[in-house]
Amino acid sequence: MPRLAATSVVLLPPLLLLLLSSAAASTAAAPLPPGAGGGFGFEATLRHVDAGAGYTKAQLLARAVARSRARASTLQSLATLAPGDAITAARILVRASDGEYLMDMGIGTPPRYYSAILDTGSDLIWTQCAPCLLCVDQPTPYFDPSQSATYRSLGCSSPSCNALYYPFCFQNVCVYQYFYGDSASTAGVLANETFTFGTNATRVAVPSVSFGCGNLNAGSLANGSGMVGFGRGSLSLVSQLGSPRFSYCLTSFLSPVPSRLYFGAYATLNSTNASAAAGPVQSTPFVVNPALPTMYFLNMTGISVGGYRLPIDPAVFAINDADGTGGTIIDSGTTITYIAEPAYAAVRAAFASQIRLPLLNATEASVLDTCFKWPPPPRQSLTLPEVVFHFDGADMELPLQNYMLVEPVSGGLCLAMATSSDGTIIGNFQHQNFHVLYDLENSLLSFVPAPCNLI
């Protein structure tokens, strides 16, 4: 994937500077909003980016796997960026086109409603704004700050401006630029605005949320109109709303039933375990990677296949203290799970020895390369091994539909995991029908199996 050279110089286009002149008059260095208290929260609906687009199940799967491959490639390259290089550090953590779930939210007063890509791998909240010098296709009109009574551009000394990787200042207006793993980018004014979140029963309006009002954008928004970061940095929605907990329950992306997001006081696992057979809530601590502090890293300790714990050195899953590479990330925007070598080789070998079907030959274009001939011969029974991901203090026992799928091109029965040259990423295919809670106050990830189509 192309990178910006470390010696690159980033210059704002003259047209954007002219555009910012009109914003200078409305500058207001409003502080980040305070926490709303223990009772604050809301529920929201999450839609898969391809929902309602008329794709077949085979096409949905193929598209999700392709996005997953691109996103994983970007995530794995982050820690290798030159330390201290402001330009490379300014890149957003993922490409906008690689998110998987959309969240509805209102912006402004009166609110205009948009769908944004929910991303646990980045922080900035942004949408495309009018007047737009360069914008990409989106399903809704561009947000027009002049039509909102509560829009205020931010000054260069504001805390939000100082939280940017690489802020610009023009006539005391804070200007942001974010760059992506390819040629995609967004640039515009950093501003405060009232945001409206939640469904009708839990709808809340929150003033003074800092966001990027993008006037110069490139790339793709995957049927959305912006992004909403749920990472651990100060500009993320989680940090700004001051209620540091959220959870989601993802239905299968092949299902028409939408998924659910719970924020603040609504983010609890107390009532989601519908069956005693599902087991207790499990929790594992987050691990901080100084090279990528906004990402959700976990301490993965091993993998079991068919009841047998594989002989994998836990160091394979650990962060490299020297440069921040490696480690294990849980990520809502990557579809399949990517496992670091040599752990993936051990998983593949275990499946090959326990499944009594011929292995299919992988091609260079294959993302999934642990695939078996399917369907099996007549009257042959087939037993598939169970898979358990082991973490510090928790075991995630995956149901069959969370790790096996029928690959649309070959028709093979495939393991929904792939090899990684740098680090492990636990993707959302493995989160399906788990209620997953991110508790930043206690630095814990908790999860429990749940019927996500019913809660």
> Please, which residues bridge with residue 228 across strands?
118
Give the up-direction half-sphere exposure of residue 179: CA atoms within 13 A in the CB hemisphere: 22
Buried b (16+ CB within 10 A) or exposed e, 351-362: beeebebeebee
- The rounded distance, in Å, linking the Cα atoms of 123 and 93 is 9
Task: Evaluate whether 342 touches 298 at the Cβ level (below 8 Å).
Answer: no
Give the DSSP H or E segment for 118. Answer: strand 112-119
Chain centre distance of CA 159: 25
Task: Evaluate whether 103 touches 207 at the Cβ level (below 8 Å).
Answer: no
Residue entry with tokens 């077949």: 56
- The rounded distance, in Å, linking the Cα atoms of 23 and 191 is 10
Tokens of 251: 């239905």
Amino acid letter at 114?
Y
Residues 6 or more apart whose Cβ sits within 8 Å of residue 94: 71, 74, 75, 119, 121, 122, 180, 181, 333
Tell me if residue 331 is catalytic.
yes
Tell me if residue 323 is catalytic.
no
- Active-site annotation holder among 50, 98, 331, 422: 331
- How many angstroms separate the Cα of 316 from the Cα of each of 66, 254, 420, 422? 25, 32, 11, 10
Q: Where are the alpha helices (DSSP H) in 170-327?
A: 237-240
- Active-site annotation holder among 50, 119, 123, 439: 119
Q: Where are the alpha helices (DSSP H) in 78-190?
A: 86-89, 159-162
Nearest to 359 by CA among 371, 374, 345: 371
- How many angstroms separate the Cα of 256 from the Cα of each of 113, 117, 199, 249, 312? 22, 18, 18, 14, 38
Nearest to 451 by CA among 414, 385, 389, 399: 399
- Residues forming the active site: 119, 331
